[in-house]
Structure 1
């Protein structure tokens, strides 16, 4: 399961406003604002569609993506002044322990989900910091997003986060997606 990486050749699809159907800006940003996050990372930021939504609410947001081609597309589009692009695998983040107040991922958990990646997120998010994850649900119909066999369920994400010491604040499953909000250990 998992580890499906979005094809950078199709990056223009990541800029479609129809993406809000699966996760709204408010759902993503709300927990970050409630946690008074100043420094955040968007894990699997792609072309910055959701990074742009986070940027006005924090001092610094790191757009983390394993594909430098995605960063190239984001630069072409234009990045907000407080966005720093970082080419990195989530399992090996270039941040100090507790450097981040928050981390989020939108529709990318299936691309990096592993015990090592979740442990790395626990390392870089300060104790009590927030992690917000929205992704394609493994129990969805599969009409959008990656193949169902490459997805995880909300219960899978909750179990992985709890195993790394996170306290899950909320978890929900919707038609094709799930959302999980957790506090860092």
Structure 2
């Protein structure tokens, strides 16, 4: 095996060569954007409901409504910008802002809702490409570690989430993750059909 062949082998051992999205793939991703917005929007608005009725104070509820509204507008952002990257970032930035805030007010580093950070790179990767997925892996990890330092510094307030709210939150985490991971797996498999027979580098 020549040096060039060896480099090509190891270069494609984990990642395939870049494949450009054609018009059919772009249309599928636009429909996928709407579907992901609806699925994750249901979670966002449910957490907003919990924030309003089961957490003391109005701050978290207001953050939830604002972030959930911005998140819901992601398909509109795509329609106006014609950029899937802009629309995907609109979605995940709003999601991260709310989940970081929800965790901050309901337990900080020990709040189970921090696990939602793991879903953000998955959403970005589905809608854009691996470079953005890698970037959001770093961003999510940084936010997670950042919450730890806020906790250690004593800046995280005591949780005011009620017992019923805690129960609802736990259900949302368990059932929500099962639904999202299952759904995203199907989406990935569907996307693979679009790429499977396309020539590399096209």
Per the normalisation by structure 1, the TM-score is: 0.31
- Greater length-normalized contact order (CA 8 Å, ≥ 6 residues apart): 2
Per the normalisation by structure 2, the TM-score is: 0.29
